[in-house]
A and B are shown apart, each in its own frame.
Chain A
Amino acid sequence: MTVQDEMFSPGLQNRQRRNRIFMWLFLSANLLGLLVLVVLLAKVLRDSWGWLDLQFITSFPSRSPEKAGILPALYGTIYVMIITAVFAIPLGIAAAVFLEEYSKKSKFLSFIQVNIYNLAGIPSIVYGILGLTVFVRWMMLGRSLLAGGLTMGLLILPVIIVTAQEAIRAVPQSWRHASYALGASKWQTIRYVVLPSALPGILTGIILALSRAIGETAPLIPIGALTFVRVIPRSLFDSFSVLPIQIYNWTSRPQDDFRAIAAAGIVVLLVVLLGMNSAAILLRNKYQGRIKKV
C-alpha cells in the first residue's frame, strides 16, 4: 500500500456507504409520492364504496344522501368545458401563431411573453374575481354558464398559448422555406405547412389545459356556480354547477353520508381526468419525434 492509499481507503468505505444510504433516501422521496397517490386513491375508493352507482350518475342533488346525484354538475362541467374550449382554443392558437411567426423581436414582444408567463402564475381565485367583475357585473351576463366558461377560458389561455408556441417552434425552418420557394404566401405557409405539423403538440397542450380546467374549483366560486341545481341548464344564460363545486359542497358538510357521496363524485372526476390525461400522453408518444423522422 502506498501512502496515498492509506490516507484515502479508510474514508472510501464510509463515503460509499453514505452514498448508498442517501441514494435510498432520495429514492424514498419519490416512493413517498407514489405511496400518497396509492393511499389517496384507496381512501377515495373505499369512502365511495356502495355509493357510486347508476342512480348517482343520473340523479339530481338532494337533501337525502341516498337520493343525491351529480347529473346537473356533470352536464354543467361538459357545457362549461365546451364554452371554454370554443373561446380559448382559437384565441390561444392565434396568439401563439402571431408570437412565433409574425412578431419581430422587440421590447413589446418580450413584454407580452413575460405577461403570458405571469398570467399563468396568478392564483385562480383572482381569475374568479376578474370574471365576477368583468363578465357578471360589467357585461351583465349574470351568474351563468357563459360567464363561467369565459372565466375558465381566460384561466387556461396562457397554458394553451405557451404549449402551442412550443409546438410551432418545433417545426423546422426549412419546411417554411420550401413552402415559400413554391410561391406560397406567409399565411398559406402557416395554414398548410406549419399548423398541420404542429397540430399533435397543440392538441396535447389543449387536452392538458382542459383537464386542468375541469378540476379547477376556485374561479367558479365568485362566479356563483350553484351547489343545488335542480335542472339541467338549457341555455348559455342559465345558472349551473360543476363537479368540483358539487364535491366541495358535499365535503364541507359534517355528515359522513355526504362525505361518501363527495368521494363518489371525486371518483367520477378522476375517471374523466385520467381518461383525458392518458389521451394526451398517447398522443404525445405517438407523434413524438415524427418531425425528426421525416
Chain B
Amino acid sequence: MVDSAGKGFRGEKGIEILLALAASVSVLVTIGIVVSLFSETAGFFKEVSVKEFFTETRWTPLFTPAHYGIAPLVAGTMLVTVIAMIVAAPLGLASAIYLSEYAPDGVRRLIKPVLEILAGIPTIVYGYFALTFVTPIIRAILPQTNVFNALSAGIVMGIMLIPMISSLSEDAMTAVPNSLREAAYALGATKLEVAYKVVIPAAISGIVASFILAISRAIGETMIVALAAGSTPKLTFNPLDSIQTMTAFIAQVMLGDAPFGSIEYKSVYAVAGVLFVVTLSLNLIGTWIVRRYKEVY
C-alpha cells in the first residue's frame, strides 16, 4: 500500500532505475574480476600445462629454465597462515571470552577502542614492525634465522588478526541466550565452567566462522609478507627460512616491470586466480556458517 504512494510522480521511475543501476555495479565488479583474471589465465595455460602448474614442485618463472609449479607459493602461504593462526586463534578467543563473560562494562569500554585501533593500523606499518622489530628479536634468539623469514611475518600477521577473531567471536558468544548461563550458574558452575562448557559449545559455529574468515584474510594479506617473509619460493615448512607467498609473488612481479603479454605477466593472473578461488570459497563457507548459526537463536 505504502509502496504505491510514489506512483504518478514524474521522475520517480527514473530515479528507481538509476538506483538499481548503482546496486548492480557490485555484480559488475565481480564479473570484472572473474573475466579479467581468467582471460589472462587462459593465455597462461596455453603455454604451461595445468598438470605442471599443480604438480611441479619448483616455481621459477623469472629464471631460465622456468618452472611453473605453484606448490612452493602455496606452501609459503600456508606456512605463514598456520603461524598466524597459532598466534591469533587462542589469543583472539581468550580476548573474546574475557570481553563477553568477565569484563565489567568500564573495562570493556577501555579495551574495545584499543582493539579497533589495532585493527585499523595499515598493514604496511605491520610489515615495517615485523621487519625492523620482530625479526631482530628472533635472530637474537635463533641466529640461524634468515633476515626474511616466515616466522616473523606470521607472528605479526597473527597479531593483526587478533581483533578480527576477538570481535567476531564475541558477537557469537554475546548471542548465546543468558538463560543458558543462568541455568549453569544455578547448578553452581564458575564463570570459567560456564564459558567453556556452555557458552563456547553454544557459540562454536560462530567461533569457527571467525577462524575461517581470519584464515582467508591471512591468505590474501600482501604487505606484511612482501616486506618480511622474503621472495624465495621454496617448498619448505621451516619457519626460519625465507619463503614467498602467492600475494608476495604478485607484488614482486608487479613492482618489477614484467612486459605486458609475457609469460611472467600472465603467471601473475594465474596465481591471482588461485588466490581468488581459495579466498572466495573460504568467505562463502564462513558466511554460510554465520548465517546458519544465526537461525538457531
Residues of A within 8 A of B (CB): 8, 15-16, 18-19, 22-23, 25-27, 29-30, 32-34, 36-37, 39-40, 43-44, 47, 90-91, 94-95, 97-99, 102-103, 111-112, 114-119, 121-130, 132-134, 137, 154, 157-158, 161, 176-177, 180, 184-189, 211-212, 214-218, 221-222, 224, 244, 247-248, 251-252, 259, 262-263, 266, 269-270, 273-274, 277, 281
Contacts and interface: CB of A to CB of B under 8 A. Distances in A.
Contact of A47 (B16, B132, B222): B132
A186 B5 contact: yes
Interface residues of B, number: 91
B227 A251 contact: yes
Interface in B1-49: 2-3, 5-6, 9, 11-12, 15-16, 18-20, 22-27, 29-30, 32-33, 36-37, 39-40
Given A95-B25, A130-B36, A215-B120, 4 more contacts: A32-B91, A94-B19, A218-B222, A269-B125
A95 B5 contact: no
B289 interface: no
Pick the 4 closest A-B CB pairs, nearest first: A123-B220, A215-B122, A186-B6, A94-B22
Nearest to B222: A218
B26 A19 contact: no
B254 A102 contact: no
Nearest to B10: A185
Given A30-B111, A95-B25, A115-B27, A247 B128 contact: yes
B188 to A, nearest CB: 7
Given A248-B223, A273-B120, A8 B191 contact: no
A294 B97 CA distance: 36
B251 interface: yes
B102 interface: yes
A158 B23 CA distance: 10
A218 B114 contact: no
A177 B255 CA distance: 56
A29 B93 CA distance: 9
Contacts of A98: 16, 19-20, 22-23
Contacts of A251: 124, 127-128, 131-132, 227
A24 to B, nearest CB: 9
Contacts of B133: 39-40, 43
B125 A40 contact: yes
A120 to B, nearest CB: 8
A277 B29 CA distance: 28
A119 B16 CA distance: 24
B96 to A, nearest CB: 9
Given A29-B95, A180-B5, A217 B124 contact: yes
B115 interface: yes
A244 B124 contact: yes
Contacts of A186: 3, 5-6, 9, 12
Contact of A44 (B111, B125, B191, B223): B125
B52 interface: no
17 contacts: A27-B102, A36-B159, A37-B118, A117-B283, A122-B279, A122-B280, A123-B276, A132-B254, A137-B260, A186-B3, A186-B6, A186-B9, A214-B122, A221-B222, A248-B223, A251-B132, A269-B125
B56 interface: no
A121 B216 contact: yes
B120 to A, nearest CB: 6
A27 B26 CA distance: 41
Contact of A114 (B39, B40, B125, B287): B287
B221 interface: yes
Given A19-B192, A119-B30, A281-B113, A40 B287 contact: no
A150 to B, nearest CB: 11
A125 B37 contact: no
A30 B27 contact: no
A215 B24 CA distance: 27
A211 B163 CA distance: 17
B50 interface: no
Contact of A125 (B99, B216, B250): B250
B73 to A, nearest CB: 13
Contacts of A221: 222, 250-251, 254-255
Contact of B98 (A29, A188, A189, A212): A29
Nearest to B190: A19
Interface in B96-131: 97-99, 102-103, 111, 113-118, 120-125, 127-129, 131
Interface in B178-236: 188, 190-193, 213, 216-217, 219-223, 226-227
B2 A126 contact: no
A129 B251 contact: no
Contacts of A273: 120-122
A123 B118 contact: no
Contacts of B153: none
Nearest to B189: A15
Most buried by A among B111, B255, B284, B286: B255
B247 interface: yes
A111 B31 CA distance: 13
